[in-house]
Amino acid sequence: MSAPLLHVSHVTKVFGGPKPVTALQDVSLVIPGEPATITTVVGESGSGKSTLANAILGFLVPTSGRILFAGRDVATLRGREWLAYRRQVQAVFQDPFSVYNPFYRVRHVFDTVIRRFELAHSRREAQRMVGEALEVVGLRPELLDKYPHQLSGGQRQRLMMARAYLIKPRLIVADEPVSMIDASLRALILGILLRLRDEEQISFLYITHDLSTAYQVSDEILVLYRGRVVESGDAQKVIERPEHPYTRLLISSVPVPDPRVRWEVGRMPEDLDVD
Amino acid sequence: MSSVTLDEVVPEMVSAGGWRTSPWLNAKFLVGLLLVGLIVALGLVGRLVWDTDLARVGSAPLNMPPFWVTGGSLAHPLGTENSGRDLLALLIVGSPATLRIGVIVGIVSIVLGTLLGFTSGFLGGWVDAVVRTLADATLTIPSLAILIVISSYVRQLDVNTMALIVSLFSWAGPTRLIRSQVLSLREQGYVRMARLSGLSSFDIMFREMMPNLLPYLAASFVGHASAGILAAVGLEALGLGPQRVPTLGMTIYFALQSSAIIRGMWWWWGFPTLVLVVIFVGFFLITVGLDEVANPKMRRAR
Amino acid sequence: MKSSHAHDAEPVLAVRDLQVMYATAHRGVLAVRGVSFEVRREETLGLVGESGSGKSTTAMAVLRLLSPPGRVVGGEVRLQGLDLLRIPERDLRRVRWRQISLVPQGAMNSLNPVMRIGDQIRDAIEAHEGHQPPGRLRSRVSELLETVRLDAGVARMFPHELSGGMKQRVCIAMAIALNPALVIADEPTSALDVVVQRAVAQTLLTVKRQLGMSMVLIGHDMGLQAQMVDRVAVMYRGHIVEIGPVLRVFEQPVHPYTQHLIASVPSLRARQPLRAAPSLDPEEVRFEVGRLEEVGPEHFAAVGRREG
């Protein structure tokens, strides 16, 4: 059994202020070193899923607990090690527009990482790499010279995935990558996720509130509710044989696209006491 | 009621940007540029077509009114003042001097404001606390009073020194303003991406954030240049300006000193004032025009 | 689009050949290109489509709430016989909210943050009915809150004290305050979590049944549509490409775009094998829009041959 790629160990995060908020409470998860997997964290708003993503990406430090990447505590990385971490762990975010600097053409996104991570040693090599990344996501090179507002949301999101692919990280944190994309394009983007896992051995931490997409792409699922993990395990098992009442509630609330199978009349969420 | 933006409804309609719809081509901006341009031309072209030696004392008959008033002549179309200086020549020599003060003050304000505002806004922590406190303190100082004191102590005052003195207090405002812009830009998605790309703080500040602030910085520059000129004119009108250079403000000072108002020599203080008004209105329009560029009110531009 | 023999009453809303254009400096684009549909008494019609389909624009056009540069350039909209597009603004204001109301997109975020909920509901009522005696108004507000299954105490709260689902239910309460015949709900649950979405969706249906209203539900989620509507209309690039009873459209979708939309909903019941990577950029695929023709009982699809 190889060392885990990512080990989130009993992480708690409390945000201070007049009324302290516990965003994460004793959360643990493990992403194995091999084979590449897609681990999904499912949670609604207030579950702490974004806080978890930010902690793993190094944007905030846990109040207690540790986040270990390939055995090293992320909070202790500095300088060159920090840059190396950045190279190994990348992200795709929810809003495909705000992640682009409106001042530059979209090629800026690639040029920046090629330069910073020294991914190519010549212009030609850089061009070839970018071309290949675009092919993986199904985009034409002509799009590189456009400005962000000239592309559609789906194209922008795919471009971000191409950027992540270019860096060839070991782990990509995908925080709601398709929730702002049209339904008919979601399969396309999730398909890219699967291909990157299978062909490039890139693992994913997929964060979403949408159980259906989680079911389709995940190997493992963790269900987060109010900062705690209430259920975890093999994706198929969690969805098909859920144990925790909250998981069951989540699953039964997903609207099935079949008019013959309608929701049972449920209780109001405020009435529920799931702790 | 909520409105539906073009982007949401018809994605393919978003324009590829064309010069005809460019936000830079708005009327206020262009008219402002034109006005300021006129004054710049006055200085540049004027010295080629008019003899600037006429700005020296004793180069013309005294106290002549403009040419359309009896007693005036086309040899001195805007009249002369009581030491024999030709008004038109005074304007041609004085306008660039005054503008230069504005430019220097504007540059110092923006450069200092950018450096301090960016570092304190982006880095936060104690750097921010120090810069913010200093800026706030400076803002509360009655700058004109201090400037008067300083100017009266400096013996030999030239235009550049004048400008630098006025700039002493002008950095605080831009620092605060730019800092708050940086604070809001810091939360943008692309700043997060830049961090993920391993960019250094310097790179993030000046390569990613600053280009998006350019219209704002430009407007700030123009605004502070304008304020700088106003402060300078204020000092000059009290006689605290460069004695040897006939800036617009100094000309007004001499006019007031020589009781030009009572003597009815309106042209002496009137024309410099007119040029100043054109400058201020021009700068103001440019600022307002740039504000339209900086504010993404035109959704199509996003 | 013919009204079926099975329904005797006149439709509550009849839209015929509606066209909306967005005009800019260089060109004008038709965002809505000749859309026709009906909403019958006590029925829920779903208007489903992706971005660029024109569904929200259609809703705004019906209520004449389009902001420039959008404007209606053709068609008619009849609400219980009244042509909404042609009556003067003054009369329209009386019709809005009393006979037809709207829960706009992102409504819960447009609640006034510095006013209590009860006051906002009261304002909405008074804006359309004129001044009311305060006692009577208070009890109406309480009744409304109860109808949307909120505690009466919510009236004293501020928006930030409420959760997303509760705020959305407040917006629904405002929309039904004057007991309109038709409510248009534009993406009423889009920003909500799935559990809350279900609660709000069910509230909407309960309210509608209780008050005997008709509803137009605009959205992009086929799953939600399947759960909530009686008939569904699928919009694509300004056209209605399929319309019919919800069961028929889901069981036997005729137009390729409808099939594509239904297939795009990931299933929670079976894991599907990954579809082969497309050689063509799927965003560049365009679906054909033919003439609407009848493909089943009350079921129409835009697959007919276009003339000219």
Q: What is the mean pLDDT of chain A?
A: 89
Residue C220 resides in a domain: yes
In this model, does residue A152 exceed pLDDT 90? no
| C-alpha dihedral, A233 to A239 to A244 to A246, nearest 10° | 120
Which of B191, B196, B200, B298 to probe the A interface (max A CBs under 10 A)?
B196
- Checking if the pLDDT of C4 tops 50, the result is no
Which of A13-17, A108-112, A184-188 has the least mean pLDDT? A184-188
Confidence at residue C278, expressed as pLDDT on a 0 to 100 scale: 52
- Nearest CA-CA distance, residue B131 and chain A, Å: 25
Burial A61-70 (b: 16+ CB within 10 A, else e): ebbebebbbb
Average pLDDT over residues C45-62: 91
Residue C197 falls within a domain, yes or no? yes
Chain A residue with minimal CA distance to C259?
A184
Q: Which helix (H) or strand (E) holds A124?
A: helix A123-137
Chain C residue with Cα closest to B5? C67
Averaged pLDDT score across all residues of chain C: 86
A103 Cβ under 8 Å from any chain B Cβ = yes
CA pair distance B54, B35, nearest whole angstrom: 25
Nearest to B116 by CA among B103, B104, B133: B133
Higher pLDDT, B2 or C234: C234
CB nearest A99 (choices: B16, B190, B211): B190
Chain C residues closer than 8 Å to B21 by CB: 25-26
Contact B285, B32 (CB under 8 A): yes
CB half-sphere exposure, A146, CA atoms < 13 A:
17
How far, in Å, are A20, A48, A116, A227 from residue A17 at the CA level?
A: 5, 17, 37, 18
Contact at CB, B196 and A57, closer than 8 angstroms: yes
Q: What is the band of C268 on the pLDDT scale with cuts at 50, 70, 90?
A: confident
CB-CB contact of B112 with B91 (8 Å) = no
User: Residue A235's closest chain C neighbor by CA?
Assistant: C271
- Kindly tell me the burial class for residue A222, based on how many C-beta atoms sit within 10 Å of its own C-beta (0-12, 13-18, 19 or more): buried
Domain ranges of chain B: 50-296
Per CATH, the number for A6-271 is 3.40.50.300
Domain B50-296: top CATH class:
mainly alpha
Nearest to B239 by CA among B223, B227, B224, B256: B256
- With contact defined as 3+ CB pairs under 8 Å, the chains touching C are A, B
Please tell me the total count of domains within chain C. 1
* DSSP structure class, residue C107: G
A101/B contact by beta carbon, under 8 A: yes
What phi and psi, each to the nearest 5 degrees, are found at residue A35?
A: -75, 175
pLDDT of residue C8: 54
Give the whole-number percent of chain A exceeding pLDDT 70. 95
**C178-229 residue pLDDT tens:** 999 999 999 998 878 888 888 889 889 989 998 999 999 999 989 999 999 9
Residues of A in contact with C246 (CB under 8 A): 259
**What are the structure tokens assigned to A19, written together?**
């009324």
Chain A residues with beta carbon closer than 8 angstroms to that of B301? 149
CATH number for position C90: 3.40.50.300
CA distance B221 to B286: 10
Buried b (16+ CB within 10 A) or exposed e, C266-296: bbbeebeeeeeeeeebebeeeeebeebeebe
List strands edge to edge, sheet with A6-15. A21-31, A6-15, A64-69, A72-73
Residue C99 contacts B, CB cutoff 8 Å: no
- Give residue C37's pLDDT band: very low, low, confident or very high (50, 70, 90): very high
Q: Is the model's pLDDT at C265 over the cut of 70?
A: yes
Q: C302 pLDDT band (50/70/90 cuts)?
A: confident
Q: Which residues of B touch C55 (CB under 8 A)?
A: none
Shortest CB distance from C226 goes to which of A154, A215, A256? Answer: A256
| Partner-chain residue, chosen from A57, A83, A98, that has the shortest CB–CB distance to B189 | A98
CB contact under 8 A, B189 and A86: no
Strands of the sheet with A220-225, listed across from one edge:
A89-92, A171-175, A203-208, A38-42, A220-225, A228-234
C195 in any annotated domain: yes
Chain C residues inside the 8 Å CB shell of A194? 274
Query: C233: domain range?
Result: 13-264+293-303
> Can you state the angle between helices B125-140 and B87-123, rounded to 10 degrees?
150
Does residue C205 lie within any of the structural domains? Answer: yes
Both tokens of residue B161?
């020194």
Interchain contact A262–C (C-beta under 8 A): yes
Chain center to CA of A10: 20
Phi, psi of B96 (to 5 degrees): -60, -35
Query: How far is the alpha carbon of B272 from chain A, nearest alpha carbon, in Å?
Result: 41
Peptide bond into C69 cis (omega under 30): yes
- For residue A177, give the DSSP letter: T
Cis omega (within 30 of 0) for bond into A35: yes
- Average confidence (pLDDT) over C42-52: 92
User: Is residue C104 less than 8 Å (CB to CB) from chain B?
Assistant: yes
Contact with chain B for residue C67, Cβ under 8 A: yes
Dihedral, CA atoms, C142, C165, A152, C302, nearest 10 degrees? -70
* Closest B-chain CA to C104: B2
Percent of chain A past pLDDT 90, that is, above it, reads 60
The whole-angstrom separation of Cα A263 and Cα C91 is: 40
Q: How far apart are the CA of B22 and the nearest CA of chain A, in angstroms?
A: 14
Gap between the terminal Cα atoms of chain B: 22
Give the position of tokens 């179309």. Answer: B77
Average pLDDT per 10 consecutive residues for chain B, totaling 302 residues: 40 44 75 91 86 80 83 82 86 90 92 91 89 91 84 80 85 90 89 91 90 87 91 87 85 88 86 92 90 58 34
